[in-house]
């Protein structure tokens, strides 16, 4: 083979290598496209303020798992506009909403100085009452149109039963509405936080008041 042919073959080999590298890079770009990262948020950090508990001894409350509306139970933020529901794009709760809500309930009772104390399953302690919570609404409602700041609505039903005979002690609806400061996720999340804290403050106060009367 003459020198010219060798040079030609070497050049062709270099072109083939460059082409293969370009194809490899293009494949990487298609597999890992550039995309906007999803923002992760949480609620349940706002301070819960409950009415002052009546005097009396501490009592135990066994809480059953919270029933959560299915559409809002996951990690996506539910919205509604004149009956039409949708999820906020590029935004997620750091954990499913029902998990964050359960943590918020536990923290609310733990930080409250009142008489009621939540008893976990498997704990060796006497439970006087059984508490069941049903989260019926947990969404941002665009009551003034899709471009205006929404109003976060948290509606919870609480049911209290006597642990001994299962007699009904109380059945009540708690609701909080907090308008977001703006139509942005960074403003909507604090509204979720505040609405949850308001509802849980009322729940804790209600449970404290429903406890056994002071013993003489």
The model's pTM is 0.80
Over residues 84-110, the mean pLDDT reads 96
Query: What is the C-alpha to C-alpha distance for residues 125 and 68, in angstroms, rounded to an integer?
Result: 27
Among candidates 173, 109, 183, which has minimal Cα distance to 152? 183
Q: At the fourth CATH level, which superfamily is domain 39-209? A: ABC-type transport auxiliary lipoprotein component (3.40.50.10610)
Model pLDDT, residue 28: 37
Model pLDDT, residue 74: 97
Query: What is the C-alpha to C-alpha distance for residues 14 and 19, in angstroms, rounded to an integer?
Result: 9
At residue 189, does pLDDT exceed 90? yes
At residue 155, does pLDDT exceed 50? yes
Q: What confidence tens digit (pLDDT) does each residue in 113-146 have?
A: 999 999 977 676 789 999 999 999 999 999 999 8
């Amino acid at each position: 083979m003459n020198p010219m042919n060798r040079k030609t073959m070497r050049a062709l080999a270099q072109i083939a290598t460059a082409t293969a590298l370009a194809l490899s890079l293009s494949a990487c770009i298609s597999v890992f496209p550039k995309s906007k990262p999803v923002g992760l948020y949480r609620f349940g950090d706002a301070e819960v303020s409950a009415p002052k508990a009546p005097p009396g001894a501490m009592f135990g409350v066994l809480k059953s798992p919270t029933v959560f509306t299915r559409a809002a139970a996951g990690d996506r933020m539910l919205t509604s506009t004149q009956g039409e529901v949708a999820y906020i794009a590029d935004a997620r709760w750091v954990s499913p909403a029902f998990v964050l809500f359960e943590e918020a309930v536990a923290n609310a009772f733990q930080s409250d100085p009142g008489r009621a104390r939540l008893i976990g399953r498997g704990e060796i302690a006497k439970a006087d009452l059984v508490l069941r919570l049903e989260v019926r609404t947990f969404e941002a409602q665009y009551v003034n149109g899709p471009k205006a700041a929404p109003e976060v609505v948290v509606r919870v039903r609480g049911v209290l039963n006597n642990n001994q005979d299962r007699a009904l002690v109380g059945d009540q609806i708690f609701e909080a509405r907090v308008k977001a400061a703006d139509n942005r996720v960074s403003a909507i999340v604090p509204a979720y936080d505040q609405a949850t804290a308001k509802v849980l403050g009322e729940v804790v106060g209600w449970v404290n008041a429903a406890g056994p009367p002071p013993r003489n």
